[in-house]
């Protein structure tokens, strides 16, 4: 990508100051200048017409899962899905019960050969060897974020092939992570002892609806674990990040605790902003944490607007519809696809319906995930020297969500058949067009780079 290109005529959404008219000069895969509208550029510069469009930094989905689609080819299908949603970087959870040193390099090569967008990994920690090898993961692989499932005690994690651990392991993980400034522990908050008892009772009673599943995981089983995790992190001096926060109770605990310990970060997901346990989804709506209530939806929107929520990410799981339907609610698989619809949901339901400003949207899907996960030297902003990751957005574009048009291995969406207002129309990754008007550039397969995140 040695040829200069200029993004001309658009309204640039700067996360640090909001929308302004500006032109952006791209060259050699990076942003080389931010210009006044109509400013002169070098002869031979290719012009990208952004008239009437909003220009966002390339979006980052900080929470996706590999391992639930077709092996290896999912690096192609799920990054296609990401590019369709204007996402230029994904951070995926790597789940393994064995040492990552044995498999990382091979998986990295396979992903680099297929990915349309740039990518990084979070490593899930489930065995002592994962903690023992943490220095290698950080210093050699550039992995600076580690997942811990607070609910995987006993046999709960066996469906993912993960051993059960305990709070002693969790605290040790936090203490070891705190030895490195900038390392983040991503902690799934859930009190599984309480959930397991309620689940058994509901199953014995023959309860078998989406609401029953959701009620088997009450909001306090999430908020209690958030509070416990923050106490552990404070004691250890560690950075802790709670993914997929779904309820007002959890938000309230974080707001109170941050006054005394600020190294706490919150993520929520689009489905918690739009769907409740009474949604007409049946088993398709099964996810963990579960869908909550209208009150929780409104609390989450307010928390995004006031900065309490740091990141909006998808928790994307590329399962087939067949893994969720035709089973009772307890046997149905958890999770669903979501990367491609992050921005359309935030624009349609947040910006257009609730007046959420574009600057805040750019913060939660661009700048904040870059800052938290060590990508801020390259990603998350429109500034000279940053990667030329650009998402052009038509705020007025209305489009029905048709899963087959978006490219995932998965074949459904919780937004299927809905019309959302505000869609990306061009996705540029390090200066290369990856998606234009819903059509993928086949030459972009393998353009995606692995993002090592060295601690500075």
Domains of the chain: 5-53+386-444 (2.30.40.10), 58-372 (3.20.20.140)
What does the pLDDT average to over 260-267?
98
Residues paired with residue 145 on neighbouring β-strands, in sequence order: 184
Higher pLDDT: 164 or 245? It is 245
pLDDT at 455 (0 to 100): 86
- pLDDT tens for 24-73 read 999 999 999 999 999 999 999 999 999 999 999 999 999 999 887 777 79
Mind spelling out the 3-state secondary structure of the chain? CCCCEEEECCEEEECCCEEEECEEEEECCEEEEEECCCCCCCCCCEEEECCCCEEEECEEEEEEECCCCCCCCHHHHHHHHHHHCCEEEEEEEECCCCCHHHCHHHHHHHHHHHCCCEEEEEEECCCHHHHHCHHHHHHCCCCCEEEEECCCCCCCCHHHCCCCCCHHHHHHHHHHHCCCCCCEEEEECCCHHHHHHHHHHHHHCCCCCHHHHHHCCCHHHHHHHHHHHHHHHHHHCCEEEECCCCCHHHHHHHHHHHCCCCCEEEEECHHHHCCECCCCCHHHHCCCCCCECHHHHHHHHHHHHCCCCCEECCCECCCCHHHCCCCCCCCCCCCCCCHHHHHHHHHHHHHHHHCCCHHHHHHHHHHHHHHHCCCCCCCCCCCCCCECCEEEEEEEEEEECCHHHCCCCCCCCCCCCCEEEEEEEEEEECCEEEEECCEECHHHCCCCCECCCCCC
- pLDDT tens for 219-258 read 999 999 999 999 999 999 999 999 999 999 999 999 999 9
In the chain, what percentage of residues exceed pLDDT 70? 97
pTM exceeds 0.85: yes
Positive or negative, the CA dihedral 123, 129, 135, 137 is negative
Higher pLDDT: 383 or 97? It is 383
- pLDDT tens for 331-345 read 999 999 999 999 999
pLDDT at 451 (0 to 100): 98
30-34, 123-127, 145-149: which range is least confident on average? 123-127
Q: Taking 70 as the threshold, does the pLDDT of residue 162 lie above it?
A: no
- Asked whether 381 and 370 are in contact (CB, 8 A), the reply is yes
- Asked whether 51 and 405 are in contact (CB, 8 A), the reply is no
Task: Give me the chain's average pLDDT, please.
Answer: 95
Q: Taking 60 as the threshold, does the pLDDT of residue 158 lie above it?
A: no
Confidence tier at 2 by pLDDT (50, 70, 90): low
Q: Which of 26, 17, 51 is nearest to 37 (CA)?
A: 51
Cα–chain-centroid distance for residue 210? 24
Other CB atoms within 10 Å distance of the CB of residue 260? 8
Q: Which of 239, 232, 352, 376 is nearest to 301 (CA)?
A: 352
Confidence tier at 152 by pLDDT (50, 70, 90): confident
- pLDDT tens for 413-430 read 999 999 999 999 999 999
67/162 Cα distance (integer angstroms): 13
What does the pLDDT average to over 101-116?
94
């Amino acid at each position: 990508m040695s040829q200069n290109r200029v993004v001309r005529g658009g309204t640039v959404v700067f996360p640090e100051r909001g929308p302004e008219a500006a032109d952006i000069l791209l060259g050699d895969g990076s942003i080389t200048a931010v210009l006044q509208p109509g400013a002169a550029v070098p002869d031979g510069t290719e012009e990208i017409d952004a008239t009437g469009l909003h220009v966002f930094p390339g979006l980052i989905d900080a929470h996706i899962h590999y391992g639930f689609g077709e092996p290896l080819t999912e690096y192609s299908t799920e990054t296609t899905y990401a590019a369709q949603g204007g996402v230029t970087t994904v951070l995926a959870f790597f789940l393994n019960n064995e040492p990552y040193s044995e498999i990382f390099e091979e998986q990295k090569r396979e992903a680099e050969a297929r990915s349309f967008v740039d990518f990084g990994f979070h490593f899930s920690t489930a065995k002592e060897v994962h903690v023992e090898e943490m220095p290698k993961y950080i210093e050699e692989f550039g992995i600076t974020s580690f997942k811990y499932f607070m609910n995987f005690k006993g046999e709960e994690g066996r469906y993912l092939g993960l051993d059960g651990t305990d709070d002693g392991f969790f605290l040790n993980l936090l203490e070891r992570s705190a030895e490195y400034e900038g390392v983040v522990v991503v902690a799934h908050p859930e009190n599984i002892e309480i959930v397991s008892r309620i689940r058994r009772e509901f199953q014995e009673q023959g309860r078998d609806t989406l609401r029953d599943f959701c009620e088997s995981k009450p909001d306090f089983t999430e908020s209690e674990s958030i509070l416990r995790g923050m106490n552990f992190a404070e004691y250890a001096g560690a950075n802790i990040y709670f993914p997929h926060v779904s309820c007002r109770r959890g938000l309230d605990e974080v707001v109170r605790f941050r006054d005394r310990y600020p190294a706490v970060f919150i993520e929520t997901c689009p489905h918690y902003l739009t769907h409740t346990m009474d949604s007409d989804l049946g088993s398709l709506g099964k996810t963990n944490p579960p869908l909550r209530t209208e009150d929780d939806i409104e609390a989450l929107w307010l928390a995004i607007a006031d900065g309490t929520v740091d990141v909006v990410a998808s928790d994307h799981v590329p399962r087939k519809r067949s893994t969720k339907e035709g089973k009772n609610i307890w046997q149905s698989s958890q999770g669903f696809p979501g990367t491609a619809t992050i921005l359309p949901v935030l624009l349609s339901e947040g910006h257009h319906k609730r007046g959420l400003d574009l600057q805040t949207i750019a913060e939660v899907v661009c700048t904040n995930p870059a800052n938290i996960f060590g990508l801020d030297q390259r990603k998350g902003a429109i500034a000279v020297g940053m990667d030329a990751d650009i998402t052009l957005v038509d705020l007025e574009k209305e489009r029905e969500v048709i899963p087959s048009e978006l490219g995932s291995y998965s074949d459904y969406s919780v937004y299927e058949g809905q019309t959302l207002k505000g869609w990306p129309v061009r996705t540029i990754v390090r200066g290369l067009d990856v998606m234009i008007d819903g059509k993928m550039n086949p030459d972009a397969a393998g353009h995606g780079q692995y993002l090592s995140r060295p601690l500075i």
